Structure 1
Amino acid sequence: MDLDFSVALTYLPVMLKATLLTITLALVTQTLGTSIGFVFALGRTSRSRILRFVVWAYVWLFRGTPVLLHLFFVYYAAPLFGVTLDAIPAAIIAMTLSSAAYNTEILRAGIQAVHPGQVEAAEAVGMRYSRIVRHVIAPQAVRIVIPPYMSNFISHTKNTSLASVITVPELMLTSQMVYSSTYRAIEILTVAGLIYLLLTSCLTGLQLWLERRTSYEARGMSRRRRAIFLGKAPASAPREA
């Protein structure tokens, strides 16, 4: 069979429209999963054994089972308990729960990489825990977790294709519908693969930018701190904008 990509080009606007839903699904679920994961990561590092166990059990359950099962249970099993959801909300809930489990462990690693002495020093000067998290823990943890976090984000973006099994009209389901009517599976799936590759390449570029942006070795000391270090400016000099 000869390849004919003109068919794929004809349906490209339809596939690009479905790509917007793929992007939205990935961004929404990863954002929610990151927010929940950060709270759970703090729970995993808390002094409460009960809280640590509850969060550990959640992570154990959702990391140990496929995303496909989460989608099926939320969409098909929830109605048995009186909860009926449309396909898109069900996909958002299921993929957020999965994303939160992975992000919990990634963010926990970053939090625990911060030296305990810095937290103790902040407590010694009377800082509240919320300020310690914001000003001491989070800035240092972010730099550490960028590579694993972005790798997980890339995998999560590709996993949005699984939402097609519960009839979410994202890129993969739309591609299946197109090649079912045109009988040009190779051409359509090739274009779909290139679109996924473009999305993940953008995320890879974002990862490299974030790594350079947060790398101390790359950005070095600010001019104010360099002047203080060299004894050319008082420590109380006004902060640069």
Structure 2
Amino acid sequence: MDDFVDAFLNIEIVQRAMPILLRGLWQTMLLALIVVPLGLAGGLVLALLSRARSRWVRWPLAVWTDTFRALPPLVLLIFAYAGLPFLGLDLGPWGAVALAFFLNTGAYYGEVLRAGLDSVPPGQSEAARALGLRRWQVMIFVVLPQAVRNVLPDLVSNTLEVVKLTSIASVVALPELLFQARQAQSVTYNASPIVAAALAYFILLWPVVRLLSRLEHRAAKG
């Protein structure tokens, strides 16, 4: 038992590693604040375009969405970081992560928002149009609020997964929480910084998990 505590729960090592772990935590939070809005914006565009009447818009859009939902985010990230420079486009770690997450999470958010738009009865739009609202006003003030409310648990769940997925940014040496924890582990030859990073993820995401449970419970009752 003492060996386990010394290898995984060494408080002294965690205290020594705390400064770089906190820097990594800040980078993780900053990364989440970038990639989540990017994914939501991309998803909203995809969801709105999916309602186009022309099949020449819908079919390529379906192929785009299916492709980037099927490709592993790690593959996209490695291609954006290591492959694009061969095409003359060097995005650096932050740009590569932003692009990879935009393509992958945008496709997932797009499907969620598309389902939300489809869940709004057509009569809502027709009634709003009859009152004199323009199409863009109907979408912004009538359809979108109801669509987001209908799929809010799914949006929160997807956001939770996106934040956890930011840990793959360590592959391209972006100094987020997991990368810093692994650096500390390599110096101390001890797994305690990894355990501390896992605890930090738990503290960061547990309120979101509880919010998701409450939303799912409310949706079930509704």
TM-score of the aligned structures, taking structure 1 as reference length: 0.83
| Amino-acid identity (%) | 35
> Could you tell me how far apart the structure 2 residues matched to 1:51 and 1:16 are?
46
> Could you tell me how far apart the structure 2 residues matched to 1:203 and 1:99 are?
18
Are residue 195 (structure 1) and residue 173 (structure 2) matched? no
- Give the RMSD, CA atoms, in angstroms: 2.0
**Letter paired with 1:115:** P
If asked which structure has higher relative contact order (CA below 8 Å, sep 6+), I would say 2
Which residue, 48, 54, 77 being the options, matches 2:54? Answer: 48
Note the alpha carbon deviations across 1:156-210, whole angstroms, 9 max, x for none: 111111011111111111111100000111x11111111111121132345467x
Which residue, 80, 89, 93 being the options, matches 1:83? Answer: 89
1:32 positional shift: 1.1
**Letter paired with 2:202:** L
Note the alpha carbon deviations across 1:26-66, whole angstroms, 9 max, x for none: 12111011012111101112212111112211111110010
In structure 2, the residue matched to 1:113 is 119
1:147 positional shift: 0.6
Any unmatched runs of 5+ in structure 2? none
Which residue, 26, 34, 45 being the options, matches 2:40? Answer: 34
> Could you tell me how far apart the structure 1 residues matched to 2:135 and 2:209 are?
34
Note the alpha carbon deviations across 1:117-145, whole angstroms, 9 max, x for none: 11122233332111011111111111111
* Higher helix residue share: 2
> Could you tell me how far apart the structure 2 residues matched to 1:60 and 1:15 are?
37
> Could you tell me how far apart the structure 2 residues matched to 1:36 and 1:146 are?
17
In structure 2, the residue matched to 1:98 is 104
The DSSP-based 3-state class of the residue aligned with 1:31 is helix
In structure 1, the residue matched to 2:190 is 184
> Could you tell me how far apart the structure 1 residues matched to 2:13 and 2:143 are?
53
State the 4+ residue runs in structure 1 displaced beyond 4 angstroms.
205-209
**Letter paired with 2:199:** L
Are residue 172 (structure 1) and residue 178 (structure 2) matched? yes
**Letter paired with 2:69:** R
> Could you tell me how far apart the structure 2 residues matched to 1:147 and 1:84 are?
37
Which residue, 125, 139, 147 being the options, matches 2:145? Answer: 139
TM-score of the aligned structures, taking structure 2 as reference length: 0.90
> Could you tell me how far apart the structure 2 residues matched to 1:190 and 1:102 are?
30
> Could you tell me how far apart the structure 2 residues matched to 1:105 and 1:170 are?
28
Query: Rg: which structure is higher?
Result: 1
**Letter paired with 1:5:** I
Which residue, 143, 162, 165 being the options, matches 2:168? Answer: 162
The DSSP-based 3-state class of the residue aligned with 1:184 is coil
> Could you tell me how far apart the structure 2 residues matched to 1:21 and 1:201 are?
19
**Letter paired with 1:32:** L
